[in-house]
Amino acid sequence: MSGGHSAPAHSHAHDHGLDGGWQVWARDPTLRIVLAGVVLAAIATVVSVVMLWPAGEGQEDAITKAEEIGFTSARLSATVEQVADRQCSYATPESPQSCRSMTLTVNEGPDEGNLITLPEMNLEFNSAVPDVQPGDRVIVGYEESNDFYFYADRDRRAPLIWLAGLFAMVVVALGRFRGVLALVAMAATLVMLVAFVAPSALDGNDPLLVSVVAASAIAFISLYLTHGFTPTTTVALAGTLMALALTLGLSWLFFHIGKFTGLATEEALVLPLIAENLDVSSLLLGGAVIGALGALDDVTVTQVATVAELRHRSPLLPTTELVASGIRVGRDHIASTVNTLLLAYAGASMPLILLFAVSDQPLDMVANSELIAVEIVRTLAGSVGLVAAVPITTALAAAVLRPQAGDDQSPSAAMAESEPAPFVESEAPAESADEQTDPPRWEDFAPE
């Protein structure tokens, strides 16, 4: 009977970090220091979000200015009815040219259900002429001032929805309830970026400050939602915030030394026209901080889990050896993660990389251009933060999870027991040799 009662109690501790988890903070000075720092960061984040929450006036003004300069137009769904390639209306015998015209049915807007014919598109001088067939769904732009329609893009919303549904199914199937929480955390991240960062920056707030506050809020939400409200998650969060602060400091220093204007792209040149008070250089720096956050979460959570597992398996292991073992594991992790930010930024800039490849410029001159130099600073500063996250988080976790010294009720023991080995059901009895040879089950790949 006693065994039947002990399992639920342990499960409760693992799920919520209460039994043998949070109660240890009151007895351990190291844990209290970590908790105090995280609580202060949480208070500062909440206060900053409230103070910087956008009123929406700046975004409305930017939308109005964008419409005045013709930067925006309505986007409507349409269905292709007819496609014809014929001689252009302005072609001459001396200069014969072929054009493509399309007849569409507009699915929404003021002319919903009506047929429209788009302006002809030159097949010889316009490389972006769409290759469409009757029945294809496209997006057309509409200028209300002169009742003018033009081709904007293909309508690819349906496949994107299908892919998002497939992604959600895979995450939930493998992660179960924790997968659902991860999806909620992702949704919260999108809300912070769309509903807070962009409108707040357009309201005239410092984009860097807004980005740092958003990154802190995202770290709190994503870590606690995905990994549970436990002491070890709190240690991972503390390591994330410290490494993020280091990344911010390095990025700010070299952005300042490099004197980046932030006006090296077409989008950056347009932004000052529609948002006069926007500091584009600060916006770039804020993007670097947010970009580094995702990889930092992965590193810190992994390091804390590694140290907790090592302590769980070796309760008497000295702290110095625990730190050394954790860093050895983290070194292998960093070896495979150090290229994460480089590949992410480079993958988004492949056309730009090809243009520089054919520019016949020395490599140092290519690197000196602001477009490339910004990515170099973001990549290297973010990677330094990733590397530093390993010893920072390992030292924090090892300081919390000290040797038991024969005391089964010590904070280290309680905290280690509150985080059982990953992918292992602690309530289940040890498997025999015969059970270990059983074929794998679906549950083995999607643990509770």
145 & 179 share domain? no
Q: To the nearest whole number, what is the mean pLDDT of the chain?
A: 78
Beta bridge partners of 74: 142
33 & 102 share domain? no
148 & 289 share domain? no
Write out pLDDT tens, residues 40-98.
Answer: 999 999 999 999 998 878 788 888 887 777 677 788 999 999 998 888 888 888 888 88
Whether 299 maps to a domain, the answer reads: yes
When pLDDT is averaged across residues 364-377 and rounded to a whole number, the result is 78
Name the band, by pLDDT with cuts 50, 70 and 90, for residue 5. Answer: very low
225 & 322 share domain? yes
In this prediction, residue 21 carries a pLDDT of 54
3-state secondary structure of 58: helix
In this prediction, residue 435 carries a pLDDT of 42
Nearest C-alpha neighbor of 86 from the set 56, 122, 52: 122
Whether 193 maps to a domain, the answer reads: yes
272 & 151 share domain? no
CATH code assigned at 151: 2.40.50
Whether 280 maps to a domain, the answer reads: yes
Please give the share of the chain, as a percent, with pLDDT higher than 70: 77
Whether 321 maps to a domain, the answer reads: yes
Q: Of 56-60, 83-87, 209-213, 286-290, which range is least confident?
A: 56-60
107 & 49 share domain? no
11 & 81 share domain? no
DSSP string, 60-92: HHHHHHHHHTT---EEEEEEEEEEEEEE-TT--
When pLDDT is averaged across residues 418-432 and rounded to a whole number, the result is 42
Decide if 245 contacts 41 (C-beta within 8 A). no
Name the band, by pLDDT with cuts 50, 70 and 90, for residue 259. Answer: confident
When pLDDT is averaged across residues 306-335 and rounded to a whole number, the result is 83
48 & 119 share domain? no
Write out pLDDT tens, residues 26-45.
Answer: 566 777 888 888 999 999 99
Enter the tokens of residue 341: 């930010």
Name the band, by pLDDT with cuts 50, 70 and 90, for residue 414. Answer: very low
Dist CA 330 CA 394 (whole Å) = 9
Q: Residue 278, exposed/middle/buried by CB under 10 A (0-12, 13-18, 19+)?
A: buried
Residue 134 has pLDDT above 60, yes or no: yes
Dist CA 314 CA 227 (whole Å) = 23
Decide if 311 contacts 317 (C-beta within 8 A). yes
7 & 83 share domain? no
3-state secondary structure of 431: coil
Whether 284 maps to a domain, the answer reads: yes
Q: Of 248-257, 297-306, 373-382, 401-410, which range is least confident?
A: 401-410
**Residue at a domain's end among 155, 183, 202:** 155
Taking the model in full, what pTM does it have?
0.73
Whether 240 maps to a domain, the answer reads: yes
* Strands in 144-204 per DSSP E: 148-154
Whether 246 maps to a domain, the answer reads: yes
Cα angle 425, 188, 74; round to 5:
140
109 & 185 share domain? no
**How many Cβ atoms are within 10 Å of 214's Cβ, its own excluded?**
26
201 & 110 share domain? no
In this prediction, residue 168 carries a pLDDT of 93
In this prediction, residue 214 carries a pLDDT of 93
255 & 116 share domain? no
21-30 contact pairs (CB < 8 A, 24+): 21/230, 21/231, 21/414, 21/415, 21/418, 22/231, 23/414, 24/231, 24/411, 24/414, 24/415, 25/231, 27/411, 28/400, 28/411, 30/399, 30/400, 30/402
Number of domains in the chain: 2
Residue 130 structural domain: 73-155
Name the band, by pLDDT with cuts 50, 70 and 90, for residue 233. Answer: confident
